[in-house]
Amino acid sequence: MKFEDWQILKFETLDSTNDKALELSTDASGCYVVTAKTQTAGRGRRGRIWQSLQGNLFFSLLLEFDMKNIGELVIISAISLYQSVKQINPCADLLFKWPNDVLLNGAKVCGILLEKAAENYMIVGIGVNIEQSPKNNDLLYRATSLKEEGIDIKSEEFLTLYLHTFCNNINILKNKGFESLRLFWNKNAKGIGTKIEIHQEKGNLLGIFKGINEKAELLLEKNNEISRVTFGDVFYKE
């Protein structure tokens, strides 16, 4: 995959870049990027509202990807964000938070939402807090922006940087497999070896965070037994 493979579609305003990507997928040929300066109905994981603040970056990738390996796509999307920020500021304090967040100085700087599209296409919706971050009390996790943390870049520049990085990681996956990407994520994840609580709709899980496995499932140790977790919101207890 190369940067030149992407067909970049720019809009002033959309309800949701993911919704536009879904519309495109019914007659898609190749890879697409849908971006908008403003979203009026952006959304995050589990139906949450994504606040589309002015100056931030909102885009969706539409690409062919095997649904059964969706965990790999989640991890690649997060790693590409991490590496993009590191290219701007190598000293940036970045950590992964399972399943798909990147923390900058301990606060959430982006959001990723994967959705199934038509045929064998997947959508990766991404919001990056470039200039602003939401400050309301309804957030599950404290948020920040690149600008607030002293990292200065424009949305369009960051998108270009991200696409180059994402292509590189997709090529690693295709040519070498998922293992090196999994190890990179584990090496830079917050809280491995510490106690975490995972909130799910039917209850909470408590245990020791042991990283992710080859399917990008979270490994949770309790009473010397390892459980595999596929969804939920992680909260750190230590």
d(CA 58, CA 124): 11
pLDDT in tens, 149-188: 999 999 999 999 999 999 999 999 999 999 999 999 999 9
pLDDT, position 138: 54
Question: What is the Cα–Cα distance from 112 to 207, expressed in whole angstroms?
Answer: 25
pLDDT value at residue 52 = 65
- Is 201 found in the same domain as 183? no
Per-chain mean pLDDT for the chain: 92
Q: What is the pTM of this model?
A: 0.92
pLDDT score at 135: 77
Token code pair at residue 39 = 């979203």
Output the six-digit token pair for 94: 């970045």
Q: Do residues 22 and 61 share a domain? A: yes
pLDDT tens digits along 105-155: 999 999 899 999 999 999 999 999 999 988 765 556 789 999 999 999 999
What was the pLDDT predicted at 69? 94
Residues 180 and 216 in one domain: no
Please tell me whether residues 162 and 201 are part of one structural domain.
no
- Please give the tally of structural domains in the chain: 2
C-alpha–C-alpha distance, residues 17 and 1, integer Å:
22
Q: How confident is the model at residue 6 (pLDDT cuts 50, 70, 90)?
A: very high
Q: Which of 170, 187, 204 is the last residue of a domain?
A: 187
- Residues 148, 231: one domain? no
* CA–CA dist 143, 149 (Å, integer): 11
Residue 3 has pLDDT above 70, yes or no: yes
User: Most confidently modeled of 44-48, 79-83, 97-101?
Assistant: 79-83
pLDDT value for 51: 59
Determine the length of the chain.
238
- Closest alpha carbon to 157 in 214, 95, 85: 85
Residue 87: band (very low, low, confident or very high) from pLDDT cuts 50, 70, 90: very high
Give the pLDDT score at 142.
Answer: 86
Task: Examine the pLDDT at 193 and tell me if it is beyond 70.
Answer: yes
pLDDT in tens, 19-75: 999 999 999 999 999 999 988 876 554 455 555 678 899 999 999 999 999 999 999
Residue 9: CB atoms within 10 A of its CB come to 18
The pLDDT, as a whole number, for residue 189 is 98
Q: Is the confidence at residue 226, as pLDDT, over 90?
A: yes
Instruction: State yes or no: cis peptide before 99, omega within 30 of 0.
Output: yes
Same domain, 229 and 145: no
- 65 and 47 within one domain: yes
pLDDT of residue 137: 52
Residues 210 and 105 both lie in one domain: no
Q: Are residues 87 and 44 in the same domain?
A: yes
DSSP structure string for the chain: --GGGEEEEEEEEES-HHHHHHHHHTT--SEEEEEEEEESS-B-GGG-B----TT-EEEEEEEE--GGGHHHHHHHHHHHHHHHHHHH-TT--EEEETTTEEEETTEE-EEEEEEE-STTEEEEEEEE-SS-----TT-SS-B--TGGGT----HHHHHHHHHHHHHHHHHHHHHH-SHHHHHHHHHTBTTTTSEEEEEETTEEEEEEEEEE-TT-PEEEEETTEEEEE-S-EEEE--
Please give the Cα distance from 99 to 16 (Å, whole number): 22
Range of the domain at 26: 3-187
* 81 and 103 part of one domain: yes
